[in-house]
Amino acid sequence: MNTEMRFPQFEDAQSHREEYIRELDKRADKTAFAKSNVESLYSLGLTMYSQNYSFESLVYNAFAMSVLDEKIALHPEQRKVLNLINENRGLIFSAPTSFGKTFVVFEYICRAQPQNVVMVVPTLALIDEYKQKIIRQYRDKFSDYNIYLSIDPGRQYDFSQKNIFIVTHDRVIDETTVAIFESIDFLVIDEVYKLQKDATNERVLILNIAYYNMVRLSKKYILLAPFISGVDNLEKLDDIPKFYSTNYSPVVNDVKTYEILSDSERILYTDKILKALPEQDSTLIYFPTVVELDSFIECTSMHYDAFEVDANPMLNEFVAWGKREIHPQWSVIKALENGFLVHHGQLPLGIRMLELALFNDGLSRFTRLICTSTLLEGVNTTAKNIIITKPHRSYNKEFDAFDFYNLVGRTGRLYQHYLGIAHYIKAPSDPVYEKSHALKSIEFELTDDSIDMDINFGEYTSHPEFVDLLNRLGITYEEYKAQIARKHRFSTVQFLLKRYDQLKLKLTDVLYRQTVDSKQSKLELIRVLAEIIDPPKYDFKLDTYIINRLTYKYRQSVRDVVDATMSAYPKANLSRVINKTIRFKSSYVEFEFYSKVDLIRYFMRCDKVSEDLITTLHDKLLKNIEILYYLNSPSKKMLKDMGIYEGDIDRIIAVTGNNFTSILDLQKLLIQHSGELRDISIVSRYIISRLLN
């Protein structure tokens, strides 16, 4: 029987590829289909499917064998990208999620053996993904490298050895930090579309500055992105990187649309779709917000028998720990007991890693993962399906086509799910998305004429409002650049200074009373600072009460804070209090509240406010945050960034000491003291086990 497929002419090779991949997905005997269509598969560059079924394909795969993984032959587009890295100092490379971009990067490092490598990623979750590939999946290939998850200017690094630094962008904006490198042999910046200008986002500014600082030192660099069509105004950069984009994908992503008449039907239709999907098919369920995610957990009629009492000791221990440490009514526990996993950015990193590992584990019975836009950040999964319950990033930020198809691209996996399907629940007001519109050209803020770029690069005199602010603070441009410009947007500084001027007397009065009476609660101080940071809103008193509890001198568990908050505000929504506490503890207090209070302290110094009051602000509040959130302890910060639960970090350091900077140093200490680390949470034990095994 002749199974050779024939198709009419399509607009590009990827259209041909998709037709073959769809047909391959349908066939029970995929090997027979591949053998019958080997010439077509090979000619379309689908060499992972043509295998050694023809002489040409056999020869190609022999020559294209990966150095990183000898079981894999690079497909033609991957080989092309390797050549482009070799030929160019700088390369911006864009391709679909399933292309294997990260694999190409590691393949290049394995082949070229650059001495000092820096990999900059937007999230801690991606740090973990990179780290796991290096220390577990490809351990033998990177055994000569020291692996670091932070850069500490106070440490001495041996750059005569081979080193890989995997860091988030906020760790490489400081010129003192970057100055530890004489040069960088290979720089990687992932998810580079986050460089695109966004005047409302402080992190975009930070990432652009990180790019600028690091590229100047790099002998060779590559910037990775999902499918974008180009980058505007690259000619404004001192060194113009080559741009290369491909639509090559070895898997196919389809969209099925379910039209509904009312927003209120979204959960109903989510359940309908879940009922129709085979239980063994791994499925992501996307919600724009944690509130909507929790509402689904409370309201869904679906139940899976993935969680069985005594069937999985680790999970049982995690549930018991979660009820004790977080709360018995925590939505993550409810979801687990109902057969669902949960993944969103408000959860501590170690918990996210544990949930994602269960989802990606083929032996786990958990095949349903409820998530938010955290999965847009480049985190890889084994999902066959995704249900897009609402095409928003948050309450009021609607997806554009790029966002939508970036999420669609999280489905499908080579050799596992040839066809990934997005199930789109569409209300009348929701957009119709066209894949052709997902390809957009972006512009880095670095090449834009924004006031923040002008300030950072010396063109400030054309902005009288900035000059006025310098005069108001009584500081020089050089001091502003050193103290503020690389941390905060000018609009943020301008707004906070205005609020500070309005509430300065109230702030100093509170600080004075705190100074003369040590028994004064710092809650009043928290509230006036929060009022400067943002005008009070509906939950102002509740929020500031939680922040106050989270900044006590001694660490409190989430359960402690939640119970105290519910006692003080018995009418508050329990689920909302739990989520706020976790979010504030995981990110807000450390990354936003602290940095803005520190800026307010700087305003006070500029105004020559009494040093006693400034000291009180530090001792009553900022010092507590610095200790509790490890802001001045690189070794403790490294453990936290790895996913170790914060309540265990001091216990681990007490056993191992803090004389470690690299992953190898830490591994040796953990192995040496493994018998002494029993009294830590299941989350931290899980993180340590995946580091050592």
In a domain, 478, yes or no: no
Tell me, yes or no, whether 189 and 258 share the same domain: no
Distance CA 347, CA 124 (A): 12
User: Residue 491: how many CB atoms within 10 A of its CB?
Assistant: 14
In a domain, 308, yes or no: yes
Instruction: Measure Cα distances from 451 to 69, 456, 603 in Å.
Output: 47, 9, 21
- The amino acid occupying position 634 is P
Distance CA 617, CA 522 (A): 10
Helix (H, G, I), strand (E, B), or coil: what is residue 284?
A: strand
User: Residue 59: how many CB atoms within 10 A of its CB?
Assistant: 11
Contacts of 316 (CB under 8 A, 6+ apart): 309, 310
User: Residue 505: how many CB atoms within 10 A of its CB?
Assistant: 9
Tell me, yes or no, whether 115 and 237 share the same domain: yes
Question: Whose CA is closest to 532, among 506, 503, 491?
Answer: 503
- The answer to whether the CB of 247 falls within 8 A of the CB of 458 is no
Distance CA 192, CA 444 (A): 9
Minimum mean pLDDT range among 245-249, 441-445, 642-646? 441-445
User: Residue 67: how many CB atoms within 10 A of its CB?
Assistant: 14
- For the chain, give the mean pLDDT: 90
Tell me, yes or no, whether 290 and 425 share the same domain: yes
Look up tokens 């996913």; give the residue.
643
Minimum mean pLDDT range among 190-204, 278-292, 314-328, 335-349? 190-204
Q: Is the pLDDT of residue 310 over 80?
A: no
Distance CA 452, CA 457 (A): 9
Tell me, yes or no, whether 148 and 29 share the same domain: no
Task: Give me 363's structure tokens.
Answer: 């032996």
Task: Give me 423's structure tokens.
Answer: 């199930």
Task: Annotate 558-587 with DSSP letters as a single string.
Answer: HHHHHHHHHHH-TTS-HHHHHHHHHHIIII
In a domain, 514, yes or no: yes
Contacts of 19 (CB under 8 A, 6+ apart): 5, 7, 10
In a domain, 340, yes or no: yes
Tell me, yes or no, whether 333 and 379 share the same domain: yes
User: Residue 238: how many CB atoms within 10 A of its CB?
Assistant: 7
Tell me, yes or no, whether 99 and 218 share the same domain: yes
Return the CA Rg of the chain: 26
Tell me, yes or no, whether 293 and 434 share the same domain: yes
Task: Give the pLDDT confidence score for residue 7 in this predicted structure.
Answer: 36
Tell me, yes or no, whether 524 and 401 share the same domain: no
147-206 pLDDT tens trace:
998 888 888 899 999 999 998 887 777 777 788 888 899 999 988 888 888 877 888 888
Q: What percent of the chain has pLDDT over 70?
A: 97
Tell me, yes or no, whether 92 and 193 share the same domain: yes
> What percent of the residues of the chain are helix, what percent strand, and what percent coil, each to the nearest 5?
55, 10, 35
- The answer to whether the CB of 466 falls within 8 A of the CB of 490 is yes
Instruction: Measure Cα distances from 139 to 136, 381, 656 in Å.
Output: 5, 21, 23
Distance CA 384, CA 382 (A): 7
Q: What percent of the chain has pLDDT over 90?
A: 64
Task: Give the pLDDT confidence score for residue 235 in this predicted structure.
Answer: 81
Task: Annotate 362-413 with DSSP letters as a single string.
Answer: TT-S--EEEE-GGGGSS-----SEEEESSSBSSSS-B--HHHHHHHHTTS-B
Average pLDDT over residues 462-472: 95
Distance CA 438, CA 400 (A): 8
69: left (phi over 0), alpha (psi -120 to 50) or beta: beta
391-434 pLDDT tens trace:
998 777 889 898 899 889 888 887 778 899 999 999 999 999 99
Spacing of C-alpha 30 from chain mean position: 36
pTM of the model: 0.91
Question: Whose CA is closest to 648, among 686, 620, 622?
Answer: 686
Domain's final residue, options 189, 215, 245: 245
Per DSSP, the chain holds a count of helices (H) and strands (E) of 31, 15
Q: How confident is the model at residue 469 (pLDDT cuts 50, 70, 90)?
A: very high
377-402 pLDDT tens trace:
667 788 899 999 999 987 778 898 98
Domain CATH for 195: 3.40.50.300
Tell me, yes or no, whether 282 and 430 share the same domain: yes
Average pLDDT over residues 665-680: 90
- The amino acid occupying position 114 is P
Look up tokens 């084994």; give the residue.
382
Task: Give the pLDDT confidence score for residue 435 in this predicted structure.
Answer: 86
Helix (H, G, I), strand (E, B), or coil: what is residue 508?
A: helix
Beta-carbon-side half-sphere exposure of residue 578 (alpha carbons within 13 Å) = 20
484-508 pLDDT tens trace:
998 899 999 999 999 999 999 999 9
Task: Give me 122's structure tokens.
Answer: 């937007």
In a domain, 463, yes or no: no
* 233: containing domain: 76-245
Tell me, yes or no, whether 430 and 530 share the same domain: no
Distance CA 318, CA 347 (A): 14
Tell me, yes or no, whether 641 and 583 share the same domain: no
Task: Give the pLDDT confidence score for residue 378 in this predicted structure.
Answer: 61
- Number of domains the chain contains: 5
- The amino acid occupying position 472 is R
Helix (H, G, I), strand (E, B), or coil: what is residue 188?
A: strand
Distance CA 131, CA 137 (A): 9
Q: Which of 236 and 563 is assigned the larger pLDDT? A: 563
In a domain, 358, yes or no: yes
| Phi, psi of 654, rounded to the nearest 5 degrees | -60, -30
Domain's final residue, options 604, 628, 652: 628
Domain's final residue, options 199, 218, 245: 245
Name the pairing type of β-strands 90-94 and 221-225. parallel
Distance CA 95, CA 101 (A): 7
Task: Annotate 621-677 with DSSP letters as a single string.
Answer: IIHHHHHHTTTT-HHHHHHHHHT--HHHHHHHHHHH-S---SHHHHHHHHHHTGGG-
- The answer to whether the CB of 438 falls within 8 A of the CB of 226 is no
Q: What is the DSSP letter of 458?
A: T
Contacts of 130 (CB under 8 A, 6+ apart): 102, 119, 121, 166
Task: Give the pLDDT confidence score for residue 8 in this predicted structure.
Answer: 37
Helix (H, G, I), strand (E, B), or coil: what is residue 225?
A: strand
In a domain, 476, yes or no: no
Helix (H, G, I), strand (E, B), or coil: what is residue 120?
A: strand
Average pLDDT over residues 303-310: 73
In a domain, 473, yes or no: no
Task: Give the pLDDT confidence score for residue 135 in this predicted structure.
Answer: 85
